[in-house]
Chain A
Amino acid sequence: MMDILTTLEASAFSTWLRESSTMWAYPAVLTLHTVGLAVLVGASWAVDLRVLGFAEGIPLAALARAFPVMWIGFWVNAISGAMLFAADATTKGTTLLFMSKLGLVVVGVVTIVMIRRTVYGHGEPRLGTAARALAVTSLVVWIAAIATGRWMAYI
């Protein structure tokens, strides 16, 4: 495992990303990662708030469009995240903090998929206890994911 991580970290791309002083390297990837998170978590929370009863005038059907937006944010972060991971694969990549972050992201994405199925999966969009419980879960899980992600800067 460590061999793979070491090779990844030593690759030309990772070395360039980590050591180049141009803004188009590490800073650009970090910026994309922040944009992706704002879009993914922002869209997710907008749906969560609506599911929990805020802005009831917003038709549920209209918010179905939020899910493709979440996937765009997710993929921007999966790709930028992979680059950030490769740059520090053997150090940051092997920490419990990072693995917790990944675990939380997985839970967050699964929660989004479940919200989509629960609310939109059966004909007319509808809310219920399950949807509300999932919405609260989503709010909490993404807060935790953001926290673990931010604390990566300190290790």
Chain B
Amino acid sequence: MSDIVVTWLKSTTLSHLMVEQPWLWPISETLHFIGLALLVGTAGIFDLRLMGFLKRIPIAAAMKMRVWAAFGIAINVVTGVMFFVGAPDQYIDNPAFWGKVLFLLLAMANIAFFETTQGARMLKMTADEDTPVSFKVAGAVSIASWFAVLYFGRMLPFIGQAF
């Protein structure tokens, strides 16, 4: 099954470009690291506030940083897809890749769950107010899962000797 997927992906124009244009992969990787720094820095502020740190920052203000975190995620999803299409055989049987996907899904599910169940409550919080346990858990899960995504991403060449 994975062979069919790999063969089909490798036949695409994007895949050929990724493999044949010598600068495309390094530039995409650079963008990927830029995206991760943006995400960690801006989501970090929001997640730390959710956990009850940085109490002088009103939650509504911390929320504004999320736009940049979303931008970082968007850059990394796009470049991530480019890597996968470029060399699918490096990823599809790589345990590190699936570890990365797992924690990426967890990070996104945590965001979605928190938004839908706690979003309204979040908007009503005042500055200096401590956060409820559900907020703290959401913030901690977010930080932990994004660092796990980073870890598995960094380990792609090493776990499973796929490269």
Contacts and interface: CB of A to CB of B under 8 A. Distances in A.
A59 interface: yes
A135 to B, nearest CB: 13
Contact-size category for A: 35 or more
Interface of A: 23, 26-27, 30-31, 34-35, 37-39, 41-46, 49, 54-59, 61-62, 65, 142-143, 146-147, 149-151, 153-154
B40 A150 contact: no
A142 B33 CA distance: 11
Nearest to A57: B61
B126 to A, nearest CB: 12
B89 interface: no
Contacts of A59: 56-57
A147 B37 contact: no
Contact-size category for B: 20 to 34
A49 B151 contact: no
B42 interface: yes
18 contacts: A27-B158, A31-B154, A34-B33, A34-B36, A38-B36, A38-B40, A42-B38, A42-B42, A44-B41, A46-B44, A54-B67, A54-B68, A58-B57, A58-B61, A62-B54, A143-B34, A146-B34, A151-B30
B65 A55 contact: yes
A39 B159 CA distance: 24
Nearest to B58: A57
B150 interface: yes
Which secondary structure characterizes the binding site on chain B?
helix
Given A27-B154, A41-B41, A44-B41, A55 B30 contact: no
Contact of A151 (B26, B36, B150, B159): B26
Contacts of B155: 23, 27, 31
B147 interface: yes
B56 A46 contact: no
B73 to A, nearest CB: 13
Contact of A62 (B26, B38, B57, B151): B57
A73 B26 CA distance: 24
Most buried by A among B40, B67, B150: B40
Given A34-B150, A57-B60, 20 more contacts: A23-B158, A26-B158, A27-B155, A31-B154, A34-B33, A34-B36, A38-B150, A45-B38, A45-B68, A46-B41, A46-B42, A46-B65, A49-B65, A54-B68, A57-B58, A61-B56, A62-B54, A147-B30, A150-B33, A151-B30
